[in-house]
Structure 1
Amino acid sequence: MSATPTTGALEIRDLVKAYKPGQPVLKGISLEIAGTGLTSVIGPSGTGKSTLLRCINRLIDPTAGSIWLQHDGERVDMSVLRGAALRAQRRHIGMVFQEYNLVERLTVMENLLTGRLGYVGAWAAWRRRFPQADIDRAYELLDTVGLGAFAHQRADALSGGQRQRVGIARALMQQPRVLLADEPTSSLDPKTSVEIMTLLREQGRARGIPVVVNIHDVDLARRFSDRIIGMSGGHVVYDGDGAGLDETMLKTIYGGEDWLQ
């Protein structure tokens, strides 16, 4: 499926998130994410990788700092938005979840169309009345992710890999300017994990948008990433490509060396 590339980028400045006062999980993160390419965020559990992604799309509120989303000539600080203004900008950020976050009782097609909820009125959404263009796009995306024959199957009848493909297609239904994926392979077998990372990379390139993936598997990060961000203790301690991610740096990111044996 062809798509017109768009320019989209993130600029994160001095981002802090503390769930408890005085105990920040993110400690002044500053990053610029270019308009294309796949960026992987790696690091030990609890270092703030998921928190970073959830601050970007405002599933959680940052404690301090700014999150600038740039698209179509517009530059908006996501960190200060509320209400309708936040909803309007959030629809430009697609999100793929670790546990899929599908509505199990709905069909694959109905799950995809929920990706358009930010664009249709509440009454139309409640009645499940979507424009024909959205329905046509959903069918195209199902073909793109290899699920064209599953449109009318319930989500709870799918395998884990199929569910994650639905999750990716649903995020792409938003026509996002940035695509985030929070541990998209953690519940999948190695073969399916490679397929999902391939799909994320290919769709980012096809649409000319950046893809940011929080991932535990260092080998997958090396294989698929244009850029790798290494986090430890709430800080960025590495920012480069896979070639620079040597054993010494991995020890810095993850601490110690027993896990490398």
Structure 2
Amino acid sequence: MGSTSSNAIKINNLHHEYVVGKPVLKGINIDINESGIVAIIGPSGTGKSTLLKCINRLNDPHEGEILFDGEDLTKLKGTALRKIRRHIGMVFQEYNLVERLTVLENVLSGRLGFMSSWDAWRRNYKPEDLKQAFELLELVGLTEFANQRADGLSGGQRQRVGIARAVMQGPYLLLADEPTSSLDPKTAVEIMELMETFAQRNDIPVLLNIHDVNLAKRYAKRIIGMANGKVHYDGSPEDITEDDLKVIYGGESWME
């Protein structure tokens, strides 16, 4: 799939609050219309995770538009929402695997939204789905773990399964909520390399939150810096300055 309007996303004047009168997102405007990694950086509590959850409608925004695949996600409900969410893959910080299922079954679950309720209940996957699942396991380096339960994996291995499951959906857009925060530095680099690989291989945008500014600069083609619920910086990794980072993170003691 090429980079067409299908995998473009446009966010207009997005607001969200958990407590009345205390907004977390304060008029977010973002336009993404090409493939590659877009990294969202910023301190904890500035709204990075909330933004991703609003895009995937895990949270319902209070105001604004999220235009994706020709639809405003903020207005969709029921079947229409479920149908369009099939095209938005999600990688979670805490993996969100079904621990008692095998690695292969967890990857295959990325196809459940495309199956009838009867076939999904019976886990009646198509041969082409099985073929793709094994191909993805090879790409993430977990072929030998296909029949092992997910609860026997390391953190890095679990995140690889989560990525493969999300890609199994054939998404037009991939979201990742702090996918490296629980991992050691070496494994974090490997996960970012996988994200980059799938962004290029599937020609899709990958929008991810990340705390490690250096990793963001290394792998993202674009950085969005959030501070106090707003977008302070939106541009190339090469152009972000120390002054920008001071505004985003508040002060400079963290940079020493």
For the criterion TM > 0.5, the same-fold answer is yes
1:6, distance to aligned residue in structure 2 (A)? 4.7
SS of corresponding position for 2:251: coil
For 1:209, the aligned partner's letter is I
Partner of 1:139: 134
Equivalent runs, 1:82-93 vs 2, <5 Å: 82-93=77-88
* Matched length: 254
Partner of 2:186: 191
Partner of 1:104: 99
Cα distance, 1:6–1:241 mapped onto 2, change above 3 Å: closer
Equivalent runs, 1:98-247 vs 2, <5 Å: 98-247=93-242
Partner of 2:18: 19
SS of corresponding position for 1:186: coil
| Greater alpha carbon shift after TM alignment, 27-36 vs 238-247 | 238-247
SS of corresponding position for 2:106: helix
Whether contact under 8 Å (1:5, 1:206) holds in the other structure is no
For 1:207, the aligned partner's letter is N
Whether contact under 8 Å (1:6, 1:207) holds in the other structure is no
| Greater alpha carbon shift after TM alignment, 98-107 vs 238-247 | 238-247
Partner of 1:37: 36
Q: Deviations for 1:198-250, whole angstroms, at most 9, x for unmatched residues? A: 11011101111001110000000000010000000000000111122221111
Distance 1:246 1:32 in 2: 22
SS of corresponding position for 1:153: coil
Residue 72 of structure 2 is aligned with which of 77, 89, 101?
77
Identity %: 60
Whether contact under 8 Å (1:36, 1:211) holds in the other structure is yes
Q: Which runs of 5+ in 2 are unaligned?
A: none
Q: Which runs of 5+ in 1 are unaligned?
A: none
Whether contact under 8 Å (1:15, 1:29) holds in the other structure is yes
2:223 counterpart of 1:250 = no
For 2:77, the aligned partner's letter is R
| Greater alpha carbon shift after TM alignment, 124-133 vs 77-86 | 124-133
Distance 1:78 1:29 in 2: 15
Say what the alpha-carbon RMSD is for the aligned residues: 0.9
For 1:53, the aligned partner's letter is L
1:123, distance to aligned residue in structure 2 (A)? 1.7
**Where in structure 1 do 4 or more consecutive aligned residues deviate above 4 Å?**
none
TM (normalized to structure 2)? 0.97
Whether contact under 8 Å (2:3, 2:35) holds in the other structure is no
